[in-house]
Structure 1
Amino acid sequence: MTGYGKGQTAHNGRQVTIEVKAVNHRFLDLNLKLPKGFLFLDDLIRKTLSKVISRGHLDVYVTYDNQSEDKGSYICNNQLGKDFYFLGELLSREIGIENDLTISSIMKAPDVLERVMPEENEEELKNLVVLSLASALTSLEEMRIAEGDEIKKDLALKLDILKKMRDEIESLSPKVTVDYKEKLTARISEYLAMPELDEQRIATEVALFADRSAIDEELTRLKSHFKQFDDLLVSEDPVGRKLDFLLQEINRETNTIGSKANFIEITNLVLKMKNEIEKIREQVQNIE
């Protein structure tokens, strides 16, 4: 599921901000951006995230702001600054354009001015990160729960549609054999041009057809799968993968019904069910 969370913690003039952006993904995929000096916390952050979230692509941004009195100092590479100036002079004479380099522009050149940061207390940084990450995940979870509730409502509505179509198929299934018997009798009568037909033979053929086209077991299994789906929708545990597997079973039973029941009305219902199953499958990809 998608979501966004932000956490911020400050102590002794030092502030850590963590932003977590989540989008749908079949597996857990982490993209972590850390400031300089925070690499030692990479593993801690990843383990914390994986304990809370099992599916989704996460972009995690950690920023650090040191506003304490001991916030570092700057050193200037004088020789490098001189080199920039003299090279500028040389180039200006070569091409006949006035050298307009200023002290300000020279100091902005790469590596001329370098900030030297004080040695940080790793334990203090760790505490700031832990607190900020917990706050960000709480915020993210609130958004994900709200989205999850809406998805569950939508899935429940779509499942009700499947249940109704399954019940329609069940009510139509007795007509399949009757329809086959009528068509078989008409064909035999037409081909043989006989006013009297062998009812016993027709009954045998119809019985064989009824056995081949029986969908009672598939309908029963569908009913069971729907019940399991309902139960998973109210579960507090991560159910995304279970729902995905259950949908595969529902789709398989629906396909079997379509191949066995040689009846146009049932075929049309099966096609509608498959379309609805695909819609549900797309939504299930958003569930952890």
Structure 2
Amino acid sequence: MMTTKKTTPTQSILSMTGFAATEARFPGGLLLIELRAVNHRYLELHVKIEDSLRQFEAQIREQLQTRLGRGKVECRMSLKSDTAATTLTLNPAMVGQIAQTLNALQQHFPQAQPINLVDIFKLPGVLHTEPADAEAMAQSLHAGLAQAIDELIAARAREGDKLKQVLLDRLQGVRDQISIVKPLLPTLVSQYQEKLTAKLREAMQADDDRVRQEIVLFAQRIDVDEELARLQSHITEMDRILTAGGAMGKKLDFLMQEMNREANTLGSKSVAIETTQVSMQLKVLIEQMREQIQNIE
């Protein structure tokens, strides 16, 4: 019986920058939700909500922490009441106190104009609204926040695709620089050895064996094959990480440190302007990648 090999789906690359805004209906009004995210070393949450929603803060934080990995995330929530759907009721005790007070004042000021009922309604405590159902509110909040998080992740994925393409372009630039310097190395080293041999013979008046020993030692010091091989290995690993997707910011940041070390070593071992220029260009490309990687989750 023939079996098919299961393949693991590729995960998106997520930027840590994004924005999302959603609305959620609940009995008596509308819940407005905004999420803003920027890059950060860890997950840092800032929840800014109205006092009437403070009882749900723990639920909000847990929901955000479950879905988001890294970044500085600001969550704003506010309530917009639906006056048409709001039930207003009188406070009998407060109305009774106001009526007694007005009667007493009328006895002292019989010529005063009658009090407008609209003005009485505006007094604190005369009217009150029925409190929203906490369970219904919690369900609306959960659904609305889930939608906002989905939109934020989608926005971060779109930005992540752009960052991935920038990294791949810079990575191709690194490959191009390696392809420039690698074929030149044997010729450059040979030319430098000829110059060094002439200088050693002139300065040291040494025999051929001594000159050869010095050249061998110097050739070992300027050999960059190992650095180029490690650079190629880092490029392969970076390709693999970018293809796999998922959380990768810290891995890529480590790779940039390693690639920069090899580029620095290549520059320190340089015996010709060509390799010095390649080393400088590699460091520029690596720094450009490192800057972009700071935004990847």
Scaled to the shorter chain, the TM-score interval is 0.7 to 0.9
Structure 1 counterpart of 2:137, one-letter code: L
Asked if structure 1 preserves the Cα contact closer than 8 Å seen for 2:26 and 2:137, the reply is no
Give CA deviations for 1:178-209 in whole Å, capped at 9, x if unaligned. Answer: 133112122134446x7xx7333222211111
What's the offset of the Cα at 1:164?
Answer: 1.2
- Three-state SS of the structure 2 residue aligned to 1:261 is coil
Q: Does 1:37 align with 2:52?
A: yes
Instruction: Give the aligned partner of residue 26 of structure 1.
Output: 41
Structure 1 counterpart of 2:248, one-letter code: V
Instruction: Give the aligned partner of residue 13 of structure 1.
Output: 28
Asked if structure 2 preserves the Cα contact closer than 8 Å seen for 1:184 and 1:202, the reply is no
Asked if structure 2 preserves the Cα contact closer than 8 Å seen for 1:27 and 1:55, the reply is yes
Q: Does 1:159 align with 2:171?
A: yes
In 2, distance between residues paired with 1:189 and 1:204?
12
Q: Identity rate of aligned residues, in percent?
A: 34
What's the offset of the Cα at 1:71?
Answer: 6.2
Instruction: Give the aligned partner of residue 57 of structure 1.
Output: 72
Structure 2 counterpart of 1:129, one-letter code: L
Change (3 A) 1:72 1:47: farther
- Three-state SS of the structure 1 residue aligned to 2:244 is coil
In 2, distance between residues paired with 1:271 and 1:72?
76
Q: Does 1:69 align with 2:86?
A: yes
Q: Does 1:188 align with 2:200?
A: yes
What's the offset of the Cα at 1:73?
Answer: 7.4
Give CA deviations for 1:146-201 in whole Å, capped at 9, x if unaligned. Answer: 11111111110010001111222222322343133112122134446x7xx73332
Change (3 A) 1:56 1:71: farther
Aligned length: 256
Higher relative contact order, structure no. (Cα contacts within 8 Å, ≥ 6 residues apart): 2
Q: Does 1:270 align with 2:279?
A: yes
Which consecutive unaligned segments of at least 5 residues does structure 1 have? 79-102
- Listed as ranges, the matches of 1:85-104 within 5 Å are none
In 2, distance between residues paired with 1:267 and 1:72?
82
In 1, distance between residues paired with 2:67 and 2:90?
39
CA-based RMSD: 2.8
Instruction: Give the aligned partner of residue 209 of structure 2.
Output: 200
- Three-state SS of the structure 2 residue aligned to 1:234 is helix
In 2, distance between residues paired with 1:202 and 1:44?
76
Q: Does 1:284 align with 2:293?
A: yes
- Listed as ranges, the matches of 1:132-147 within 5 Å are 132-147=144-159
Change (3 A) 1:158 1:73: farther
What's the offset of the Cα at 1:55?
Answer: 2.0
Instruction: Give the aligned partner of residue 133 of structure 2.
Output: 121
Worse-matched range after superposition: 257-266 or 143-152:
257-266
What's the offset of the Cα at 1:129?
Answer: 0.8
Asked if structure 2 preserves the Cα contact closer than 8 Å seen for 1:6 and 1:18, the reply is yes
TM-score normalized with structure 1 length: 0.79
Instruction: Give the aligned partner of residue 223 of structure 1.
Output: 232
- Listed as ranges, the matches of 1:216-255 within 5 Å are 216-255=225-264
Instruction: Give the aligned partner of residue 218 of structure 2.
Output: 209
Change (3 A) 1:73 1:32: farther
In 2, distance between residues paired with 1:17 and 1:234?
37
Asked if structure 2 preserves the Cα contact closer than 8 Å seen for 1:73 and 1:117, the reply is no
Which consecutive unaligned segments of at least 5 residues does structure 2 have? 1-15, 99-115
TM-score normalized with structure 2 length: 0.77
Instruction: Give the aligned partner of residue 86 of structure 1.
Output: none
In 2, distance between residues paired with 1:116 and 1:186?
101
